[in-house]
Structures are given as structure tokens and as C-alpha cells.
Amino acid sequence: MILGTPRRWWFAAAVPLLLGFVLLATGDGTMLRTAVAILLLIVAMVLFGIAPMRYGQRARTPPPSASDTLQTTLSTPLPPPRSRAPIEGWDPSEV
């Protein structure tokens, strides 16, 4: 669905959102009904906020497996290590 969010997360966030709006719209002004409605709206926002979302091209293609990356790294030889530059320093007994 939108933003790569699974459908079940949309439904999980939509149920408390709709219930919260219904309670606010049909409320008779009692404190308890308004508090429950606001709590349901907050729960809907939290559920949508913690939903896993996959953006961009990586959402459409699965990540490469470990065996694919292992084969590509082993097929290319590593360059030989360079020698270190000489570092002039003091004699440890002089310090």
C-alpha cells in the first residue's frame, strides 16, 4: 500500500481512528466519552507511527542475500598491502 506499509497496519490504525471520530461526533459532552475518543485517536497515531515502512526502490526489490555478497567479494582479489612510511621518533629512554 502507500509508503510500503503492510495492509494490516493500515487496518490496525484505521479502527481506533474511526472509533475515535465516531465517539467525538456522537458525543454528548461527557468527559469520559471525550477522553476515550482522544485516547483512541492517539492510539491510532501511535499504531501508524510504529508501522514498518519501506521507501524507494528497496521497497520493490528484496535485499541481496549473504551468499551473493560473499561470492562477489571472494571473486575479486585484494591488492597487496602497502608498506608503511617510516616514522621518525625519539628513543623511548629519552622520554
What was the pLDDT predicted at 67? 59
What pLDDT does residue 57 have?
Answer: 56
In a domain, 84, yes or no: no
**CA distance linking residue 21 with residue 25, whole number of Å:** 6
- Location of C-alpha cell 459532552: 29
CA 3, CA 9: separation in Å to the nearest integer?
12
Does residue 4 fall inside a structural domain?
A: yes
Predicted local distance difference test score (pLDDT) of residue 15: 95
In a domain, 17, yes or no: yes
pLDDT at 17: 94
Number of separate domains in the chain: 1
Q: 22 lies in a domain? A: yes
pLDDT at 14: 92
For the chain of 95 residues, list the mean pLDDT of each consecutive stretch of 10: 74 92 88 93 91 65 58 68 80 71
Find the domain containing 35 and state its range: 1-52
Please indicate, yes or no, if residue 71 is contained in any of the structural domains.
no
pLDDT at residue 45, as a whole number: 93
Contacts of 83 (CB under 8 A, 6+ apart): none
Q: What is the pLDDT of residue 76?
A: 72
